Each structure stands twice: as C-alpha cells, then as structure tokens.
Structure 1
C-alpha cells in the first residue's frame, strides 16, 4: 500500500454499495471501529506541512514589526503583545481564506482541497444571507457587493499584518467588515471563526490595556467547550476519535473503547471514563489559569492545557481544526503564562466593552446551549462534543447531477476522488462518512428517521449535509445550520428537484437542560413532511445499524 493509498475496508466497496442499508451500516461501522476513515499516511504529512505554513506565515508578518520576527531569536519575542495581536489577525485571515478548519480530505474536500476564497470571490455562487429576501443583500447567490466586501476584508487584513503596530485605524475596518460580510453571507462570518478572532479584534480596538478582555474570551472557549460535554454524547466521540487517530493504529487499542466489538459498538466503560476525565480537564483549565498568579498554579494550568490540546491534535479530528488548536495553545501561554498578573476584573474599567465581551463569552454561549436550534454551535462554543446539529441529504437515483446547475468551485464527490483513485476506492472512502455520522450518539437517530424519510433507501444516494455544504457553500465545519431549510430552498430555486428526488433529514442538537433532540424531514420540492423529537435514552440503546423497517414519510402535527 502506497503513501497515497487509503486503508482498504474489509469488504468490496462496490458490492457493499448494493447491500440493504442495515447491512451496509453494520459493515461500514465495524470497519470504522478498527480502521477509522482509512486516511492515507501522506495526508497527515500534508496537514503537518500546513501547520508549518500557518506558523511560518505568522513569523513572516511579525517581521514587519522592528525588533521581532527573526526566527533565530523567536524565544525572545514570541510572547510580545504585538506578536500575539498579529497571531489573531493572521489566524482570522488564514481561516477566512478557507485554509484552516474544514479544509482537505478529512472534511470531504479532495480537489481542490480548499473552498474559501475560491468560492467567496466568485460571483453567482450560493450563499446564506442573514436577511433573506432583502434587496441587494438578501439574495441566495453572491453578487458584486458580496465579492467586493470580502475582497476588501482580505486586503484590510493584509494591511494590518504588514503594519509595524496595530492601532485603531487598522483594527476598526476589520471590526466593521467581518460582521458586514456575515450579514451578506453568514458562512463567511463562521468561517472566520469570529466567535474567537473577531471578538478579540474588538477587544484590541476598544481596550487599553486589552489583556483582561482577551483573557475572558480565551477562558470562555475552554469553559463552554467543557460545558457542552456534560451529556451522554461525548463517550461516543472518544470512540470515533480513538478509532481514527494516527497514534492509536493498533486494533487491540481500538477494541478497548467499545463494549464488545464487533457485536456492540456502544462506548465501553473505558471510553466513558476517558470522556468524563476529558470533560473535567477542559472545565478545570480556565479555572486553574484564572486563579494562577504566575507561580505553581499557573504552571499546573499550562501543563493541563498542553495535555488537553495535545490529545486533540494527536487524534487529527475530522474537520481538522488543527491551526485553531495551535492558536489556542499559543494564546494560553501568552495570556495566562506571560501575563498571569493581568486580571479579567479589569474589564470593569470599560463597561461597554465588558458588556460586549460578556455577551459573546457568557450570554450567547449560554443561550446556544439552552436553545441550540437558534444558534450556531460555534457561537455557542460547543466544540468537539458530538452534540452538533447535522443533516443527511438523500438524492434519488442520479438526481444529484442537478447540483451541476450551481456555480461552485468543487465537483461532485466521486468526480473529485476519481482524479486520484479507481471508483471502488472512491466508494469506499465516501461510504466511511456514513459510519462517522452513525457512530456518534446523535447520528443514531437516523436509524429511526431514514426509513421515515424515504420508502426505499436503496433507491437513494446518502450524502452527509456537511459534504453538501462543502460543495455548495465553499465551507463546512460541523454546523448543521449551514445545510438546513435555508440552503435547501436556495439549492431548490437553482436546481429544481422534483417531488421525492431530494429528501433531507435535519437533526438539532440536544439542549443542555433536556433529554431529547428535535428532528425534521424535508422534501426539496414539497416542503416539510414531518417533525418530532427523539429521546437520548432511546439512542443510547441502539447500535448504529439498528434501522427500523421502511415506513415512508408521514406528516405529523407541527
């Protein structure tokens, strides 16, 4: 097997594709448990090189500030305030270009390996406006204003990076442009990881000193990520990540996280303990670091931080938020190591900024955990929890070919993969995405919902909504709200699917205070067919292949 060859599944993918859905699901989930996605070895080196590009770009832009940026002296300047500020601006540029989260084959993006600017700079591509239907800004496709504003954002980011120092004249345009681009297309706002980088820019622009606000934002990232794991979802995430990690490639290790491989793929006691320990660690990191004063407690907190993000990075998670984890690590050393004496209580000196930071660091995450169907999981800071909104798009026959009517930067998934592999290998890789979804606790709702959505699943091509968003929107990163009814309506207006040709299953996140998840079944041509709730207790008893017999769609009271 060559460096570019994926690990072959223990079955013939073309024969697998002809099997009934329960059989297909059982085969692919068992394969995932021991093989993960089957990522070629060379892909990991590509991502490693990309991290090098990310760090190298930061060093390059730091060089425009006199006295810093020299690689040989990095130990003397890497914790300078302007170096941290440029790291945030560079990270925002890196992400909004599409180079960071949601790039490459580990997010179903094979060729080209990125979307981002290839999509956002192209008039006529599909977008998700915040104010739908409004003249000039509310259309479903990108116009000259969208392209111009995005281009100005890129230019303004580069302008700030090549400046010796960051001042209000450089920061205020960025503070305005990021939400303006998000108003025209919320995909761009999320792709910029605005809940982190943009909020930091606002703090830089309106606070002097700005360390208190930056600390509050960074602490919120850890705290709410920990809160989001206070449920039954995270043990399944541990299973999926362990089975896909390049450092746990031994089958005997991967078997340990399941109750009884291959018959029972629910999380084992070990996986559950690992999940609880990880949650406790993530909740503890911000508390310990906020209490630290630069002494032993700070050292302990930083060590805990390295353990947390080291584990995440070692698993190379699907969605590949690798550079973002590097940025958070660097922020931890700068804010809580080098500036342990700065107190977040100093925010009280700037009441309006304190209100703004409180909104994004406390208010929105709390609301997003309690009412998750109203807010992106990114703004709610619910990272790596397995409790994300998602969708599955079911295309009857070859109806997916109608997507070619859209203007986009990527071809159909199999057409991308066929540039590198024979069709059998392509089918095997795309099929693994089904396992990724079903192996998560939330994904097991599909065992109940797919048979309701379509009368005969064998007549339909199962495509995860994440992959559809990657094709149609130019960016995808775990947010099911990017491929819900708004995207369905935008696609339908351009593609014209007939009744029954495209059925979409949309599942929302579990609210923090409830033990159910909401779901909807939507026909692109006919609208909503059914909606309801499913209990978490029921999902915990299911194997990822425990499909109900087909029942066909039905309408239920809304």
Structure 2
C-alpha cells in the first residue's frame, strides 16, 4: 500500500469487468482479504489528524479555555473535571451533527465533498426520513425551511452550551469540595435536548447522525440529576452501550465481521496475519477459528465482562485493569479504521472510561447503590434498556443504533442494481454530492478503476453473512444481472442523504420512494435487494425485493445458518430462500 497512491487489485481492468458478477466478487473478496479497501496511507493520516488534532486537542482546548482551566497539555489539572467531561460530550455531538465525525471521508464513500452532514441537512429539498409514520406533523420526505431552521438552531444551541463558562452546583460542591469550575448550566441544555427530540421525530437521519441514542440520555442526566446521581447514571449508560453491543454479538453473524475488519486495518502490516483469519485463503473464505476466538473472546466476552466489572467493582486494582482493557479495546477499533469510521466515538469512550471509573470510582461513593434513592438506578437501567430490548425483538421498528447492535454483523443492508445507464438518474436527486463513481473519478481514479474500486464494496458485503443472501435474491430474480451495475447500499446512501453508519433503514423502501420522486426510474431500471436484521433467536432474515418504480415486488426469508455456511461468491449457487409474497403480475424479468 502506497502513501499517496491506492493499492489497486492485480487485474487487467478491461477484461476484469467482462467477467461474471460472482467471479468478480470472488477476486475482489480475496483482494480485500489481503489489502482491505486499498486506500492510500495518506488517507489514514488525514483521519488521524482529524481525530487527534481537530477533535481531541481542539475539543479539550475549547473545554478548558471556556471553563477557566489550564491548557490541554496540563492533563493532570483537567482530566477529572466534570465540566470537561460534559463539554467533551457536547463537542462530540457538535462534531457528529455537523458531519465531520463518523461516516466522514473516503473510507465512508465521501470523496467530493468529504463531508455530508451539514451540506445536506442545512439545505431545503434534500431527503428527510421520519422514523415512524404515525407521528403527527412529520409527513413528507423533503426538508423544508422548518427542518433547516430546527437543524441550525440545534447547532447554535450546542455551541452556546459549549462555550459558556461553568455554573456553580451545590451538589457538586458537596461531593467535590473546592471545585471552582462548576458544571454546564442545566438551563443551557434544555434547548439541545428539546431540539434533538423534535428533529428526531421528523428526521431520523439527523438524530442518528448526532448519535442521539447515546448522547441525548447523557445530556438529560446533566440537566436533571444532582452531581453524584449524574455520574452514576452516566456509568450505567456507558455500560448499557457496551453490554448491549456485546450481547448483540451472540449468534452466527459476528465471526464474519472480524476477518474483513482486520484485513482493512493499516495497523496489520503482514499479509499472513490477515490470511490467518480465513479458513483456507483463498479457497475457503469463511472465518477461521482464530477469527471466531477473536470475535467472541476479544469481542463478546470483553464487551460484557469488563463493563460489568467497572460498574460493580469496589476493588481498585481490578477496576484499573478493566479500565485499561476497555481503553485498549477502543484504541484497537480505531486502528482498524472500520468503514463507518467512528473514530471520535471511540476516543470519547476511552476518555469517558477513565473519567467515570477512575475519576469517580465506586469505592468513593459512586456505585449504583449510592444513587439517591437507590432504586433510581434500576429505573434508569430499565429506561435505557427499553430500545435495545425492543430493537432486538422487533428490528423492523427500531434502528440498530438505539438497539445497541453496533458492528455486530447483524445488519439491515441492501444491494442496488441498475440497468445500463440508469444509475445516472440518481444525479437528478436533490443533494450536495454526485454519484460516487463520478466522485472517485474526480479524486484521481481513472476509468475503469473507479468502477473496480466501487465493486470492492460489494465484495466486502459478500464477506458478511447478509451479503450472500442479498446476492442470492438478485441471482434468482434478475436474469439480466450480468449486464447490471451493482452497488453497495451503504456507500450509495452516503451520496444521497449525506450519512450512513451501517443503518440499513436509511435505504429502505421509504428512502427508495423518496429517490424515485426525482429520479423517475422506469420499471426494472433500478431493482434493490434489501434485508432486515435478524430478530433475536429467530434464525431467519426477512428480505424484500424492491423495484424503485413499482415498490416492493417480493418478500421472503432465508436461514442465517445457510448464509453463514456459504462461500462469499456462492460457488454452489444461491442459498435457499422462502418466498412469502409476490406482487401480482410482476414482470420485467423478475422471478415469478
């Protein structure tokens, strides 16, 4: 991998694109296993400068400067100051809701421009997606002046809370005598809280882009709880996030996540280490025992056991060890540069782990049973578990982010297909970016290498369980699949709505209908295979075949076990699917 130039697949570009679709998937899947996305190392350096320069040093500087604390390099004098922790949360929300945090830049499919977020969300006419159709005053799929004003007001309210000096707190003074910096004035947090809720009911894109499912509870705790209860509630919150993510890794999906993640890591210098995560590279590309152990010991077990130790331990050495383990856990994720690039989120969790569990340890009166009254801890825990529990039972109703299924491999996802020339119609959609094929060409990827690089993303999808099911649905239903352009929905979604974080609900039939309003595809020109996450313990995933012009034309299921056991390029043919419903009289080459 070069510093400036990308690591391109070792193929003849002209003849490669003439090969059958699944043969291309096989070749590019093997290339991913050795080289990941193949991005120049310069790209990773840009991300590191952003996360450690702009985000970390910039955020600490703002927090300390506006709170009367010494400069950022005097770590011992600010790391355990409550107002710094509060402003770190506010700064992170601001960075995320502007669009320069997660899902930013080339690794998320954003090249020109590298930023989605504000360029889409502060513009009228761009696509807005409401989370639930039953909520009044939320109809429509385009941003209005009201939506733009609400978004800009949210930005302004966060900035105000971030830059204002601290306010004295009697509860803080009682718990930490002599503290002179105070806390963020609770009154200043009312506007961001209310605006996040209002915006969230009208537009799930902005709410989830702000990571509202995690930061809204924290802001609420800052605003309404006395100091000791606030700290304990934030501990419960971060533990719910960790344990929820760990719990979601039970099942058959997660082992498939580890190999392509490791393969994409610039911190892994040796190809043989990457190959070690596949059973028999390149012949058997299912996860090896090494990958499975890494997934469920280094992932599932650590993400459940260590947080519970942190929450309940009153033993100093054990707590310090668990803190070190979780900090290393998040730094490891940063080193892999996952495609949603949630680097800021991971750095925040490193700091929050140290601040909450070492700055205010359980043995100093900050254990769950120290809340006043003690049963309040159970109430907060129950409230925080509501969406994770519901989302795992009914993944069709709740985003995988509030469901706390971050990077568990159990995702809603999709593959879009276009007949020759039809993809260009996406440029009719009101947005602040062009099609990614054009963005990559503008970034220096010559034709047809821009096409090959984008096809690596569908090969990446095939390395995960749901990708094999999606390709199976397309192969069974589209006799003309070899002449179609196939696109990974998560990347495509980024260029249309300015954000994606692995959330398949962002590109479901609601978004497809909004695209169709302007793109005006003819029947058969744009056909999408879309699948919902597996409901906990169900063993199946529910898919939809969607024609952009006609709507849903088929519904069915496949067994997760079948998807997991198949090779990414489906050499034995499509996995079995069970068709539940077919649109009457559907045609255009689709299976009847």
Task: Give the alignment's TM-score, normalised by structure 2.
Answer: 0.90
| Residue in 2 that maps onto 1:41 | 41
Q: Distance in 1 between matches of 2:542 and 2:77?
A: 52
| Residue in 1 that maps onto 2:178 | none
8 Å contact 1:294–1:337 — kept in the other structure?
no
| Residue in 2 that maps onto 1:174 | 192
8 Å contact 2:418–2:485 — kept in the other structure?
yes
8 Å contact 1:391–1:504 — kept in the other structure?
yes
| Residue in 2 that maps onto 1:78 | 79
Q: Distance in 2 between matches of 1:350 and 1:459?
A: 64
Q: Indicate which of 315, 320, 325 corresponds to 1:299.
A: 320
Q: Distance in 1 between matches of 2:158 and 2:375?
A: 28
Deviation at 1:138, TM superposition (A): 1.9
Deviation at 1:72, TM superposition (A): 3.2
| Residue in 2 that maps onto 1:515 | 539
| Residue in 1 that maps onto 2:514 | 490
Q: Distance in 2 between matches of 1:345 and 1:230?
A: 29
Q: Distance in 1 between matches of 2:346 and 2:542?
A: 31
Deviation at 1:44, TM superposition (A): 0.6
8 Å contact 2:253–2:464 — kept in the other structure?
yes
Q: Distance in 2 between matches of 1:64 and 1:25?
A: 52
Task: Give the alignment's TM-score, normalised by structure 1.
Answer: 0.95
Deviation at 1:89, TM superposition (A): 0.6
8 Å contact 1:366–1:380 — kept in the other structure?
yes
Q: Distance in 2 between matches of 1:59 and 1:180?
A: 29
1:139-154 correspondence to structure 2 within 5 Å:
139-154=140-155
8 Å contact 1:207–1:353 — kept in the other structure?
no
Secondary structure of the structure 2 residue equivalent to 1:533: strand
- Residue 296 of structure 2 corresponds to residue 276 of structure 1: yes
1:496-507 correspondence to structure 2 within 5 Å:
496-507=520-531
- Residue 155 of structure 2 corresponds to residue 119 of structure 1: no
Q: Distance in 2 between matches of 1:15 and 1:249?
A: 30
Deviation at 1:123, TM superposition (A): 0.8
Secondary structure of the structure 2 residue equivalent to 1:189: helix
CA separation of 1:205 and 1:410: change in aligned 2, threshold 3 A? same
8 Å contact 1:264–1:543 — kept in the other structure?
yes
Q: Distance in 2 between matches of 1:535 and 1:303?
A: 39
Deviation at 1:293, TM superposition (A): 2.5
CA separation of 1:348 and 1:530: change in aligned 2, threshold 3 A? farther
Q: Distance in 1 between matches of 2:202 and 2:304?
A: 35
| Residue in 2 that maps onto 1:185 | 203
| Residue in 2 that maps onto 1:54 | 55
8 Å contact 1:448–1:548 — kept in the other structure?
no
Deviation at 1:71, TM superposition (A): 2.2
CA shift digits 1:361-418 (9 cap, x unpaired): 2121112122222211100111121111111111111112111221111111111111
8 Å contact 1:107–1:467 — kept in the other structure?
yes
CA separation of 1:538 and 1:130: change in aligned 2, threshold 3 A? closer
CA separation of 1:129 and 1:276: change in aligned 2, threshold 3 A? closer
Deviation at 1:254, TM superposition (A): 1.3
CA separation of 1:367 and 1:129: change in aligned 2, threshold 3 A? closer
8 Å contact 1:347–1:354 — kept in the other structure?
no
Q: Distance in 1 between matches of 2:12 and 2:549?
A: 35
| Residue in 2 that maps onto 1:244 | 264
1:461-500 correspondence to structure 2 within 5 Å:
461-500=485-524
Q: Distance in 2 between matches of 1:260 and 1:174?
A: 51
CA shift digits 1:327-361 (9 cap, x unpaired): 111111111111112122345639789646532x2
Q: Distance in 2 between matches of 1:48 and 1:369?
A: 34
Deviation at 1:316, TM superposition (A): 1.3
8 Å contact 1:237–1:386 — kept in the other structure?
yes
8 Å contact 2:436–2:492 — kept in the other structure?
no
8 Å contact 1:133–1:139 — kept in the other structure?
no
Deviation at 1:311, TM superposition (A): 1.8
Q: Indicate which of 198, 223, 236 corresponds to 1:216.
A: 236
8 Å contact 1:14–1:427 — kept in the other structure?
no
| Residue in 2 that maps onto 1:365 | 388
Q: Distance in 2 between matches of 1:39 and 1:329?
A: 26
Q: Distance in 2 between matches of 1:550 and 1:277?
A: 32
- Residue 91 of structure 2 corresponds to residue 90 of structure 1: yes
- Residue 452 of structure 2 corresponds to residue 428 of structure 1: yes
CA shift digits 1:214-252 (9 cap, x unpaired): 111011111011001111212111111111111223221
Q: Distance in 2 between matches of 1:529 and 1:547?
A: 27
Aligned length: 556
8 Å contact 1:213–1:354 — kept in the other structure?
no
Q: Distance in 1 between matches of 2:135 and 2:190?
A: 26
Deviation at 1:75, TM superposition (A): 2.1
| Residue in 1 that maps onto 2:221 | 203
CA separation of 1:294 and 1:352: change in aligned 2, threshold 3 A? closer
Secondary structure of the structure 2 residue equivalent to 1:373: coil
Deviation at 1:549, TM superposition (A): 6.3
CA separation of 1:348 and 1:227: change in aligned 2, threshold 3 A? farther
CA shift digits 1:398-455 (9 cap, x unpaired): 1121112211111111111111221233122211101110001221112321113422
Q: Indicate which of 289, 301, 318 corresponds to 2:310.
A: 289
Q: Which moved more, 1:47-56 or 1:72-81?
A: 72-81
CA separation of 1:251 and 1:206: change in aligned 2, threshold 3 A? same
Secondary structure of the structure 2 residue equivalent to 1:423: coil
CA separation of 1:554 and 1:521: change in aligned 2, threshold 3 A? farther
8 Å contact 2:412–2:505 — kept in the other structure?
yes
Q: Distance in 1 between matches of 2:537 and 2:435?
A: 40
Q: Distance in 2 between matches of 1:139 and 1:307?
A: 44
